[in-house]
Amino acid sequence: MDDEILKKYKKAGEILKEARNLGLKMIKPGAKILDVVEAVENKILSLGGEFAFPVNISINQNAAHDTADINDSRTFEEGDLIKLDIGVHVDGYIADSAKTVSLNSGKEDLIKASETALEEALKMMRPGVKVYEVSEVIEDTIRSMGFNPIINLTGHGLDRYELHARFEFPNIKNAIDYELKEGDVFAIEPFSTDGSGKVTETNKILIYRYLSDRPVRFPESRKILELTREKYHGLPFAKRWLLKEIKISPIKLNLILRQLSQNGSLYEYPVLKEVQNGFVAQAEHTVVVGDNPIITTA
């Protein structure tokens, strides 16, 4: 990997760590989700980073893709299990990391399962190791601690302006025999649950991603496509961001987003929930493969 590119990956990781620390300090009973999300995102911008995706805060049975809505009034409650998932990029080079916080949920062992699986996986991110070998360690670690890995959520490769590049890193045993190469970059993210080990889509959608320009009716639709293609570089974006950029009512915005999704202009990210309402914990770091792996977000 070119030294300048590595510097950008590292800078993205440093920015993410500062923003993550701020968010973790703010998560407490009674705090508003919207306040935490906006504080973390503002911190990223103030440090010279950009968003690889909206700050995700997924609580209890929700595993991923939840963020603050427009004028979101939700607060953290005693007993919550909270996943804080952050993505930062510098010139397109991405850092992606998540940590789970327990507000006296009684699920600390569940958190430990995902964190231990991540630790064991990161030790293996060296040239010559195959994907299936890392996945086997993740699954075996989580199951040995009495929990289930989530079978349909995976770690993933990272590339410039590409959040989910080749290859996937399943949290369960598989036959992916890709051999890790020096300089490969991956986000490794074990999910553990006391449920059945699978997530399903809900009808709540707060995050989208640009796919392609299609014929549209409203001038606001064209503005959204231009914005999400050019400013957000085709990376995932939050619905609430658009109100800061475009003069439009929330009702009309919902209508336009639905139409743009239906015609193939935008991709939707529904909130994902464990199918048996099991609690979910997540741990994630970004790592550059090498004889001494570089964990940019640790």
Pairing of strands 185-188, 285-288: antiparallel
Given the residues 85, 139, 220, 274, the one annotated as active site: 85
284 in catalytic set: yes
Task: Please identify which of the residues 41, 80, 96, 194 carries the catalytic annotation.
Answer: 96
Residue 61 has which token pair?
Answer: 């049975």
If you count them, how many residues does the chain have? 298
For the chain, the C-alpha Rg in angstroms (whole number) is 19
Identify whether 18 is a catalytic site residue. no
Q: Which of 194, 274, 284, 285 is catalytic?
A: 284
Q: Verify whether residue 177 is a known catalytic residue.
A: no
How far is 39 from 22, CA to CA, in rounded Å? 8
Contact (Cβ atoms closer than 8 angstroms) between residue 274 and residue 280: yes
Please list the alpha-helical segments (H only) found in 131-172. 131-144
233 an active-site residue?
Answer: no
Bridge partners of 95, per DSSP, are: 88
Q: Give the phi and the psi of residue 166 in degrees, each rounded to 5.
A: -65, 145
Name the catalytic one among 38, 72, 120, 164.
164
Beta strand pairing status for 199-210 and 62-64? unpaired
Q: Which of 50, 66, 80, 156 is the catalytic position?
A: 156
User: Which of these is catalytic: 50, 66, 184, 189?
Assistant: 189
Catalytic amino acids? 85, 96, 156, 164, 189, 284
